[in-house]
Amino acid sequence: MKKVLIPLMIAAIPAIIGCGPKINPHIHLPGKIIYTTEHEGSIHVMRIDPQGENREALTNADTLRGASSFFDACLLPDGESFVVVANIYGNNEIVLIEPGPDPKVTQLTDNKARDISPSVTPDGRYVVYASDSGGDLEIYKLDLENPDLEPERLTRSKSNDTDPVVRPDGRFIAFISDRPGAYDLYAIDLTGEEPLRRLTDEEGDVSKPSFSLDGEYVIYEVMIHGNPEIAYCNFDSPTEHGMIVETEEWSEYSPCFSPSGSYICVVSNREGASDLYIYTFWGDLVRRITDTPEFDTDTSWTW
């Protein structure tokens, strides 16, 4: 059974995530997993299926002149094009990559700031990302149909706001902020109808949130026992929360939901190297899907 954390300021209610079913490690799971790893001497975006087969590189040394690495990829609704952070001559910028026989690469940001953690709205119109162009990290929104327009600043605080992820309904953005001194999960309503929400009050720092396809749950990293583990909360009822994977023996990080919401992909060093693993949402191990000495991270799971 899950261990349910009791936050400092709010009481917990019983979680609906009970003990999971018996797992068939040979079960076929649909979709593709996008992730970042070392490839051909630098950091690139890869794609693999949830069975651990058909691994392919989506970026390489010829993708963009001056770019030494690519990370934090986020697919657009067409399932092929993606926005990604590119380290261009030592500076992190957001770029759009449209694969095909004649691939097209569009640099969306070009400044001395650190632009990171892009996430795309469900209609594919906007990219939200974190940037320290104003000093601290804040959340911005960029219009892909009008990329020459000045990005809209969505948060204004004397803290670092980062790791934004758009809820599948397109209305809310969940993000990480150290407003209370430690990093916790918050959400803003893009319509402006609701005030800022605080979703977590964990004892350790939170990072890397990911929504389920129905928007009901958010999974995220949380620092427990000195290393990152995987936790969840209900977006509309955040008092329903707890741990998915928790151990003092190894680290788990960079989680993402499967399209069905029944499985998650995480990076774990449970067998030494940092590789991709599939778990159920109940925390049962299904399989290891990468097995290389390189450091894997930045996962997302698409159809």
Tens of pLDDT, residues 241-252: 999 999 989 999
102 belongs to a structural domain: yes
Range 62-73 average pLDDT: 94
**pLDDT at 200 > cutoff 80:** yes
**pLDDT at 12 > cutoff 60:** no
Q: What Rg do the C-alpha atoms of the chain give, in angstroms?
A: 18
Q: Record the tokens describing residue 21, joined without a space.
A: 């079913």
Report how many domains make up the chain.
1
Q: Record the tokens describing residue 51, joined without a space.
A: 């069975």
229 belongs to a structural domain: yes
17 belongs to a structural domain: no
22 belongs to a structural domain: no
Q: What is the CATH number of the domain that holds 257?
A: 2.120.10.30
Cα separation values, 46 from 118, 198, 256, Å:
17, 33, 15
179 belongs to a structural domain: yes
**What does the DSSP 8-state code read for residue 239?**
T
Q: How many CA atoms lie within 13 A of 125 on its CB side?
A: 2
9 belongs to a structural domain: no
Confidence of residue 27 (pLDDT cuts 50, 70, 90): confident
CA separation for the pair 121, 16 (Å, rounded): 28
Taking residue 58's Cβ as centre, other Cβ atoms within 10 Å add up to 22
CA separation for the pair 192, 62 (Å, rounded): 42
Confidence of residue 19 (pLDDT cuts 50, 70, 90): very low
Residue 40's pLDDT is what? Answer: 83
CA separation for the pair 159, 177 (Å, rounded): 7
11 belongs to a structural domain: no
Range of the domain at 172: 32-302
Taking residue 133's Cβ as centre, other Cβ atoms within 10 Å add up to 16
Whether the CB-CB separation of 112 and 93 falls below 8 Å is answered with: no
Q: Record the tokens describing residue 258, joined without a space.
A: 């499967």
Whether the CB-CB separation of 126 and 76 falls below 8 Å is answered with: no
3 belongs to a structural domain: no
| Backbone angles phi and psi of 201, in degrees to 5 | -145, 65
Q: Record the tokens describing residue 150, joined without a space.
A: 């000045």
Range 167-190 average pLDDT: 95
Q: Summarize pLDDT for 218-273 with one digit per residue, the tens.
A: 999 999 888 999 999 999 999 999 999 999 899 999 999 999 999 999 999 999 99
